[in-house]
Amino acid sequence: MTTPIRLSAEFLGTLFLLTGVVGSGIMGEELADGNAAIALLANTVATGAILAVLIVVIAPLSGAHFNPAVTVVFLLRGEISALMALAYIAVQVAGGVCGTWIAHAMFELDVFQVSEVSRSGAAQALAEIVATFGLVATILGCLRRKPEWVGPMVGLYISAAYWFTASTSFANPAVTVARSLTDTFSGIAPVDAPIFILAQILGAVLCWFLFLGLFRSESKLQ
Protein backbone atom coordinates (compact mmCIF):
# COMPACT_ATOMS: atom_id res chain seq x y z
CA MET A 1 0.00 0.00 0.00
CA THR A 2 1.17 3.53 -0.69
CA THR A 3 1.94 5.93 2.14
CA PRO A 4 -1.11 8.17 1.54
CA ILE A 5 -3.42 5.16 1.70
CA ARG A 6 -1.75 3.87 4.87
CA LEU A 7 -1.97 7.24 6.61
CA SER A 8 -5.54 7.90 5.45
CA ALA A 9 -6.50 4.47 6.74
CA GLU A 10 -4.94 5.09 10.18
CA PHE A 11 -6.57 8.52 10.32
CA LEU A 12 -10.05 7.31 9.39
CA GLY A 13 -9.83 4.22 11.58
CA THR A 14 -8.81 6.12 14.71
CA LEU A 15 -11.43 8.76 13.90
CA PHE A 16 -14.22 6.18 13.78
CA LEU A 17 -12.87 4.46 16.88
CA LEU A 18 -13.12 7.68 18.89
CA THR A 19 -16.51 8.58 17.44
CA GLY A 20 -17.56 5.12 18.64
CA VAL A 21 -16.07 5.39 22.13
CA VAL A 22 -17.10 8.97 22.87
CA GLY A 23 -20.47 8.82 21.09
CA SER A 24 -21.60 5.63 22.80
CA GLY A 25 -20.47 7.04 26.14
CA ILE A 26 -22.67 10.10 25.62
CA MET A 27 -25.67 8.06 24.49
CA GLY A 28 -25.20 5.50 27.26
CA GLU A 29 -25.08 8.12 29.98
CA GLU A 30 -28.05 10.04 28.52
CA LEU A 31 -30.29 6.98 28.47
CA ALA A 32 -29.11 4.98 31.48
CA ASP A 33 -31.04 6.93 34.06
CA GLY A 34 -28.07 7.23 36.41
CA ASN A 35 -27.07 3.56 36.37
CA ALA A 36 -23.37 3.69 35.47
CA ALA A 37 -23.15 -0.05 34.89
CA ILE A 38 -25.76 0.10 32.13
CA ALA A 39 -24.00 3.07 30.54
CA LEU A 40 -20.68 1.23 30.63
CA LEU A 41 -22.32 -1.91 29.23
CA ALA A 42 -23.55 0.09 26.23
CA ASN A 43 -20.13 1.72 25.89
CA THR A 44 -18.56 -1.77 25.99
CA VAL A 45 -20.79 -3.26 23.31
CA ALA A 46 -20.22 -0.31 20.98
CA THR A 47 -16.46 -0.12 21.51
CA GLY A 48 -15.83 -3.86 21.19
CA ALA A 49 -17.97 -4.11 18.07
CA ILE A 50 -16.55 -1.10 16.24
CA LEU A 51 -12.98 -2.15 17.07
CA ALA A 52 -13.52 -5.59 15.55
CA VAL A 53 -15.05 -4.08 12.41
CA LEU A 54 -12.39 -1.39 11.98
CA ILE A 55 -9.51 -3.81 12.34
CA VAL A 56 -11.01 -6.33 9.92
CA VAL A 57 -11.73 -3.65 7.32
CA ILE A 58 -8.57 -1.55 7.69
CA ALA A 59 -5.88 -4.10 8.55
CA PRO A 60 -5.17 -4.87 4.87
CA LEU A 61 -4.49 -1.16 4.28
CA SER A 62 -2.35 0.02 7.19
CA GLY A 63 -2.15 -2.82 9.69
CA ALA A 64 -4.91 -1.12 11.70
CA HIS A 65 -2.79 0.05 14.65
CA PHE A 66 -4.98 3.05 15.66
CA ASN A 67 -2.71 3.15 18.71
CA PRO A 68 0.75 4.71 19.26
CA ALA A 69 1.61 2.03 21.82
CA VAL A 70 1.02 -0.63 19.19
CA THR A 71 3.00 1.34 16.62
CA VAL A 72 5.91 1.54 19.07
CA VAL A 73 5.85 -2.24 19.44
CA PHE A 74 5.99 -2.72 15.67
CA LEU A 75 8.84 -0.21 15.57
CA LEU A 76 10.72 -2.26 18.18
CA ARG A 77 10.07 -5.38 16.10
CA GLY A 78 11.54 -3.66 13.08
CA GLU A 79 8.31 -3.94 11.10
CA ILE A 80 7.86 -0.19 10.55
CA SER A 81 10.43 2.57 10.02
CA ALA A 82 10.91 5.30 12.63
CA LEU A 83 9.69 7.95 10.21
CA MET A 84 6.57 6.05 9.24
CA ALA A 85 5.93 5.30 12.93
CA LEU A 86 6.02 9.03 13.68
CA ALA A 87 3.62 9.71 10.83
CA TYR A 88 1.31 6.92 12.05
CA ILE A 89 1.27 8.40 15.57
CA ALA A 90 0.57 11.89 14.26
CA VAL A 91 -2.43 10.83 12.17
CA GLN A 92 -3.69 8.56 14.97
CA VAL A 93 -3.82 11.50 17.37
CA ALA A 94 -5.31 13.81 14.73
CA GLY A 95 -7.90 11.20 13.75
CA GLY A 96 -8.82 10.54 17.37
CA VAL A 97 -9.35 14.23 18.09
CA CYS A 98 -11.48 14.67 14.96
CA GLY A 99 -13.52 11.60 15.92
CA THR A 100 -14.24 13.10 19.34
CA TRP A 101 -15.35 16.37 17.74
CA ILE A 102 -17.67 14.54 15.31
CA ALA A 103 -19.27 12.75 18.26
CA HIS A 104 -19.86 16.11 19.95
CA ALA A 105 -21.36 17.58 16.78
CA MET A 106 -23.71 14.63 16.33
CA PHE A 107 -24.99 14.98 19.91
CA GLU A 108 -25.34 18.79 19.67
CA LEU A 109 -22.67 19.43 22.30
CA ASP A 110 -19.96 22.09 22.19
CA VAL A 111 -17.36 20.77 19.79
CA PHE A 112 -14.40 21.99 21.81
CA GLN A 113 -14.33 20.69 25.37
CA VAL A 114 -11.78 19.78 28.02
CA SER A 115 -12.48 16.87 30.37
CA GLU A 116 -12.76 17.31 34.11
CA VAL A 117 -13.01 13.61 34.94
CA SER A 118 -10.19 12.83 37.35
CA ARG A 119 -8.50 9.46 36.85
CA SER A 120 -5.35 9.49 38.95
CA GLY A 121 -3.30 7.42 41.36
CA ALA A 122 -0.97 4.45 41.26
CA ALA A 123 -3.81 1.95 40.95
CA GLN A 124 -5.00 3.61 37.75
CA ALA A 125 -1.47 3.52 36.36
CA LEU A 126 -1.18 -0.17 37.23
CA ALA A 127 -4.51 -0.76 35.49
CA GLU A 128 -3.24 0.88 32.31
CA ILE A 129 -0.05 -1.19 32.40
CA VAL A 130 -2.11 -4.38 32.73
CA ALA A 131 -4.61 -3.27 30.08
CA THR A 132 -2.00 -2.40 27.45
CA PHE A 133 0.12 -5.46 28.24
CA GLY A 134 -2.91 -7.63 27.58
CA LEU A 135 -3.85 -5.75 24.43
CA VAL A 136 -0.38 -6.16 22.92
CA ALA A 137 -0.31 -9.83 23.96
CA THR A 138 -3.63 -10.32 22.19
CA ILE A 139 -2.33 -8.71 19.01
CA LEU A 140 1.07 -10.42 18.95
CA GLY A 141 -0.43 -13.76 19.98
CA CYS A 142 -3.04 -13.68 17.21
CA LEU A 143 -0.50 -12.50 14.63
CA ARG A 144 1.65 -15.57 15.34
CA ARG A 145 -1.08 -18.10 14.54
CA LYS A 146 -4.40 -16.56 13.63
CA PRO A 147 -3.73 -13.23 11.92
CA GLU A 148 -7.25 -13.03 10.51
CA TRP A 149 -8.67 -13.21 14.05
CA VAL A 150 -6.90 -10.09 15.35
CA GLY A 151 -10.01 -7.92 14.82
CA PRO A 152 -12.58 -10.03 16.67
CA MET A 153 -10.08 -10.92 19.42
CA VAL A 154 -9.07 -7.30 20.08
CA GLY A 155 -12.77 -6.41 20.19
CA LEU A 156 -13.38 -9.13 22.77
CA TYR A 157 -10.26 -8.24 24.76
CA ILE A 158 -11.25 -4.60 25.10
CA SER A 159 -14.84 -5.57 25.95
CA ALA A 160 -13.45 -7.57 28.86
CA ALA A 161 -10.81 -5.04 29.85
CA TYR A 162 -13.39 -2.22 30.09
CA TRP A 163 -14.67 -4.14 33.11
CA PHE A 164 -11.68 -5.82 34.69
CA THR A 165 -9.26 -2.89 34.77
CA ALA A 166 -9.98 -0.12 37.24
CA SER A 167 -9.29 2.52 34.56
CA THR A 168 -11.78 1.01 32.07
CA SER A 169 -8.82 0.25 29.84
CA PHE A 170 -7.87 3.21 27.71
CA ALA A 171 -4.76 1.24 26.63
CA ASN A 172 -4.02 3.73 23.85
CA PRO A 173 -2.19 7.10 23.95
CA ALA A 174 -4.10 8.52 20.95
CA VAL A 175 -7.38 7.56 22.62
CA THR A 176 -6.15 9.13 25.86
CA VAL A 177 -5.36 12.46 24.19
CA ALA A 178 -8.64 12.46 22.31
CA ARG A 179 -10.67 11.57 25.40
CA SER A 180 -9.06 14.45 27.30
CA LEU A 181 -10.96 16.71 24.90
CA THR A 182 -14.45 15.54 25.87
CA ASP A 183 -16.16 16.45 29.14
CA THR A 184 -18.55 13.49 28.90
CA PHE A 185 -18.79 9.91 30.21
CA SER A 186 -15.55 8.71 28.62
CA GLY A 187 -13.37 11.76 29.35
CA ILE A 188 -10.10 12.05 31.28
CA ALA A 189 -8.70 15.29 32.72
CA PRO A 190 -5.65 16.43 30.69
CA VAL A 191 -3.56 16.56 33.87
CA ASP A 192 -4.03 12.80 34.29
CA ALA A 193 -3.25 11.92 30.68
CA PRO A 194 0.58 11.86 30.81
CA ILE A 195 0.70 9.15 33.48
CA PHE A 196 -1.82 7.09 31.49
CA ILE A 197 0.30 7.41 28.37
CA LEU A 198 3.50 6.47 30.17
CA ALA A 199 1.82 3.45 31.72
CA GLN A 200 0.48 2.38 28.33
CA ILE A 201 3.89 2.59 26.67
CA LEU A 202 5.39 0.70 29.60
CA GLY A 203 2.81 -2.09 29.42
CA ALA A 204 3.28 -2.41 25.66
CA VAL A 205 7.06 -2.55 25.86
CA LEU A 206 6.94 -5.05 28.73
CA CYS A 207 4.79 -7.35 26.64
CA TRP A 208 7.08 -7.00 23.63
CA PHE A 209 10.02 -7.83 25.87
CA LEU A 210 8.29 -10.91 27.27
CA PHE A 211 7.47 -12.20 23.81
CA LEU A 212 11.06 -11.55 22.74
CA GLY A 213 12.36 -13.56 25.69
CA LEU A 214 9.96 -16.45 25.35
CA PHE A 215 10.21 -16.83 21.60
CA ARG A 216 13.68 -15.56 20.81
CA SER A 217 14.46 -18.21 18.26
CA GLU A 218 11.04 -18.19 16.66
CA SER A 219 11.01 -14.39 16.49
CA LYS A 220 14.15 -14.40 14.47
CA LEU A 221 12.59 -16.76 12.00
CA GLN A 222 9.48 -14.69 11.50
Site for a copy of itself in 5-34 (CB under 8 A): 5, 8, 16, 19-24, 27-28, 31-34
Query: CB of residue 76 vs a copy of itself: minimum separation in angstroms?
Result: 19
Query: Alpha-carbon distance 76 to 140, whole Å?
Result: 13
Per DSSP, 118 falls in state -
Query: Alpha-carbon distance 94 to 27, whole Å?
Result: 23
- The residue count of the chain comes to 222
User: What contacts 142, CB < 8 A, 6 or more positions away?
Assistant: 149, 150, 153, 154
162 touches 168 (CB < 8 A): yes
C-beta closer to a copy of itself: residue 33 or 78: 33
Query: Does residue 112 belong to the site contacting a copy of itself (CB under 8 A)?
Result: no
Q: Taking CB under 8 A as the criterion, which residues in 133-172 touch a copy of itself?
A: 134, 137-138, 141-142, 144-146, 148-149, 153, 155-157, 159-168
Query: Alpha-carbon distance 20 to 13, whole Å?
Result: 11
Query: Does residue 103 belong to the site contacting a copy of itself (CB under 8 A)?
Result: yes
Judged by CB under 8 A, the stretch of 75-83, 84-92, 132-140, 192-200 that binds a copy of itself is 132-140
C-beta closer to a copy of itself: residue 33 or 83: 33
Judged by CB under 8 A, the stretch of 68-76, 87-95, 100-108, 174-182 that binds a copy of itself is 100-108
Query: Does residue 67 belong to the site contacting a copy of itself (CB under 8 A)?
Result: no
C-beta closer to a copy of itself: residue 82 or 148: 148
Query: Does residue 188 belong to the site contacting a copy of itself (CB under 8 A)?
Result: no
CA distances from 51 to 18, 56, 77, 81 (A): 10, 9, 23, 25
Task: Choose which of 10, 11, 14, 42 interacts with a copy of itself (CB under 8 A).
Answer: 42
154 touches 135 (CB < 8 A): yes
> Helix, strand, coil shares of the chain as percentages rounded to 5?
75, 0, 25
